[in-house]
Amino acid sequence: MMLDLVAFGEILWDVIDGEALIGGAPFNLAAHAVRCRLRAAAVSRVGDDALGRAALAEMARLNVDARWTGVDEACPTGTVTVELADGQPSYAIHENVAWDRIEVSEEALASLAAERPRAFCFGTLAQRGEVSRRTLARLLEAFRSAVVFYDVNLRQHYWSEPLVDAGLARATIVKVNGEEARVLGGALFGGACEPEAFGEAVLARYPAEVAIVTLGAEGCLVCERGKEPVMCPAKRVEVIDTVGAGDAFSAAFLAAWLGGAAAEAAAAAGNARGAWVAGRRGAVPEEAGAG
């Protein structure tokens, strides 16, 4: 059985109130993709340490394919200190960690390409390290025929206009949140953008088929090429924390999209899963009780 989805980037531990929880947007996306009945792998790197071994154990437990996740003997497994205010996270992302040095050998790349994944997913944060940035470029070349999902995920100072521009130029589906739309509107389009204007600007300049702006409890704005923008409302939930909710949205959206759904229907599926995660603690809550 071939892979449906490959997620590239950081696997790390979110430390929330002193408790370490497995995370990293690509890992979260892959884990939720498995929950959405896709076959998913992560291309990443962990340290040769207790947290790295625990991360690999979590990948196995959650059925995320770890064949292309390496172990770094020189750098530790990534960690992020997460502070929550009214359920909204802020992050202290620690540097010089294993996922800054993601590498894929020619043999490993050939074996991954042989899986013919239908979707390839990446973000911006993992590109802060030169080694990982070069590896991403090789993977994007290898998967030109796949659906390319770019979850922009601006974090602190770990992005630049040229980096985001290059990602947008390769994407089939682009996802940002409302604040990222406003920031990138100024950086890329010469002025702050409201969600609808941002999505339309992306489709006008770049080859993407869909641009999504997530808006938290309000839902999301979806711009699909050749169609009018549409607002997709979210289910109201009591928010526990929003860590991983966007990644859950991405996984459910892609599962529906790869299954043949139009963008609006895929976004509804994404909203439902994102809301479910926001009402629970951690990025990949236990599945019992999921709707």
Global pTM value: 0.93
Confirm whether 284 is domain-assigned. no
- Return the pLDDT at 243: 79
DSSP 92-120: EE--S-GGGG----HHHHHHHHTT--SEE
Residue 99 falls within a domain, yes or no?
yes
The CATH number of residue 16's host domain is: 3.40.1190.20
Nearest to 56 by CA among 66, 68, 41: 66
Confidence of residue 1 (pLDDT cuts 50, 70, 90): low
Does the residue 286 lie in any domain?
no
Residue 270 β-bridge partners:
none
What strand order describes the sheet that includes 5-8? 69-72, 40-47, 5-8, 119-122, 147-151, 173-177, 210-214, 220-224, 230-232
pLDDT in tens, 28-80: 999 999 999 999 999 999 999 999 999 999 999 999 999 999 999 999 999 98
Distance between CA atoms of 36 and 211, rounded to whole angstroms?
21
Residue position matching structure tokens 């993407």? 208
Confidence of residue 253 (pLDDT cuts 50, 70, 90): very high
Helix (H) or strand (E) holding 78: strand 78-85
User: What phi and psi values does residue 113 have, to the nearest 5 degrees?
Assistant: -60, -35
Per-residue pLDDT tens digits for 15-30: 877 888 898 999 999 9
Q: What is the mean pLDDT of residues 185-189?
A: 86
Does residue 290 carry a pLDDT above 50?
A: no
CA atoms within 13 A on the CB side of 236: 0
Between CA 76 and CA 189 the distance in angstroms is 38
Nearest alpha-carbon partner for 269 in 226, 219, 224 = 219
Q: What is the per-residue pLDDT across 88-136, written as a single tens digit (0 to 9) for each?
A: 767 789 999 999 999 999 999 999 999 999 999 999 999 999 999 999 9
| Amino acid, single-letter form, for residue 291 | G
Query: What is the predicted pLDDT for the residue at 48?
Result: 98
pLDDT band at 258 (very low <50, low <70, confident <90, very high): very high
For residue 286, pLDDT over 90 is answered with: no
As a whole number, mean pLDDT of residues 223-227 equals 95
What is the token pair recorded at 81?
């200190």
Residue 15 maps to a domain: yes
The answer to whether residue 200 is domain-embedded is: yes
* Bridge pairing between strands 220-224 and 230-232: antiparallel
Owning domain of residue 241? 5-278
For residue 245, the one-letter residue type is: A
User: Is 287 within the bounds of a domain?
Assistant: no
At residue 152, the 3 state secondary structure works out as coil
How many other C-beta atoms are found inside a 10 Å radius of the C-beta of residue 148? Answer: 21
Query: What pLDDT shows up at residue 192?
Result: 67
Q: Which of 187-191, 225-229, 286-290 has the lowest average pLDDT?
A: 286-290
Do the domain assignments include residue 291?
Answer: no
Which pLDDT score, from 0 to 100, does residue 66 have?
98
The predicted structure's pLDDT at residue 289: 46
Residue located via tokens 């620690």: 94
Average pLDDT along the chain: 92
Examine residue 167 and state whether it is found in any structural domain, yes or no: yes
Domain total in the chain: 1
